[in-house]
Structure formats: C-alpha cells, structure tokens
Amino acid sequence: MTKPSISNSQKEFYNNYYDGESEWRWIGALAKAENIIKLSGDFPHERILEIGAGEGAILRRLSELNFGNEYYALEISSSAVRAINNRTFTGLVDCRIFDGSTLPFEDKQFDLVVLSHVVEHLEFPRQLIYEAGRVGSFVFVEVPLEDTIFLTRNYNNKIGHINFYSSATIRYLLESCHLQTIKQTICNMSKKSFVFRNGKIGLINFYIKELALFAFPLFATRIWTYHSAIICRSPDISANRKGKASDHNRS
C-alpha cells in the first residue's frame, strides 16, 4: 500500500513561505517555547526533534533557554530549511526537507518530538502522529482551538489550516494514535502577540479573553480561539513488537 504524501498544492503553498526572520513568528515562538518547557520540563529532553519547524524560531528560543542539547528540524518547505540553516544557534545538529509523512530516523531516537501549530496543517495527521510516537519517547503537540461557534459552514481558510479542533477532539486524535496524554493545558496567545497586532485595543482584547478563560472556560473556548498544548508519552515499541511476535507464534 502506498503511503500518503503531501499534495502538490500544499507543497507549493509552503515552498516559498519563509523568506527570512519574522518578528511576528519570533513573538509567537516565545510563548510556544514556554509551553513546551512548562509541559515537558519534567521529562527527558536532551535530544529534541521539531517537525514543521518553520524558520526555526522555537528551536532557537529553546537553545537560548538551554532546554535540550541537540536540536533537529524537519520541514516540507525549502525556504524554511534555508532559513533554519542560515541561523546560528547552539545545538542545531540537522535540518532537512522530508516528505511530510515518513520520518527519516530510528525508533526512539529522540527524547522529545515537537509538533507546535503543525497538526492543523496536515493532510494526513494520523500518519505523522504515529511516526512522531515511533521516533520519540515523548510527543508535544500544540494547536489552535478553532472549532468554535464562529467556524464557517464551508471551508474558507487562507492561512493553511485544514483541520479544526476543540480541546476534546485534539486529545481524542492523539490518544487514538496510541499516545498517552500526560497533561493538557489551554492558554491564550501571549500579551505581546495581541499588542503587536492591535496596540492598545489588542491589550484590552487580551485581558478580556484571559478573564473569560479563567471564569468561564467552557463558554470562552466556544466563543474565541485559544491554544491547547498537550504532552504525551509514546508507546513502547519494543513491547508492541514482542506482543505481535507472541500473537504470531500462537497463530
């Protein structure tokens, strides 16, 4: 059976998407890296793989904070790979293009695999999530929670999002891919992000959303888009293989 691969339209969309460092992506990376550290800090994280690393802003921030020692990056975008390889930050070992489906690494080669704001872009999310669980002992996922009452009836998204999640459905997706949820959080975009976009009005909007999330979380996440971050433990591949071998021997 042929493995699913990225469509040409998806490749074209992202191929020249990254044309250098972006202040907006760097501001976003500060909060995303903070979430990674907050949820993953109690677990091994010396060797980190980021899938869909963009221009490398998150890995650069993790390096600045000495979270991990070795960093690896995979991307479908040639412009992203160029941007990352042009960066200079301590610990970057390898950055390469991949097919968006199969990870070119050994089983459990990494302590932590990061998929930060990637799953919502995937044409075949389960395939890549399974692969992340294969190569990593722990998997961190963050997505925007865009399945709100304002989600349009027909698809119309110009920023590349093709999957839309609630806090429940993203967790169901990961657990149905045999990942064990350890912790899940829901958070707002950072204050800096709101101010960068809309100045003082953005600051007001930030505090309104913060207050709503604190006081009425179920209501708030149905009205506004927040982010959900999840840290998962991946399955023991050696145990699974022994189990399959035992099943085969009994048959």
Question: Could you read off the pLDDT of 99-146 as tens digits, one per residue?
Answer: 999 999 999 999 999 999 999 999 999 999 999 999 999 999 999 999
pLDDT, mean of residues 193-218: 97
CATH number of 8-250: 3.40.50.150
pTM over 0.85: yes
Beta bridge partners of 244: none
- In contact, 119 and 143? CB cutoff 8 Å: yes
pLDDT single digits (tens) 46-92: 999 999 999 999 999 999 999 999 999 999 999 999 999 988 789 99
Q: Report the share of the chain in percent with pLDDT over 90.
A: 78
Residue 156: pLDDT band (50, 70, 90) is: confident
Residue that wins the pLDDT comparison between 117 and 17: 117
Write down the domain spans for the chain: 8-250
**Nearest partner of 65 among 84, 40, 83, judged by Cα:** 40
Is the pLDDT confidence value at 232 over 60?
yes
Window from 11-20, 106-115, 167-176 with minimum mean pLDDT: 11-20
- Average pLDDT (214-236) is 96
| Contact by Cβ (8 Å): 99, 6 | yes
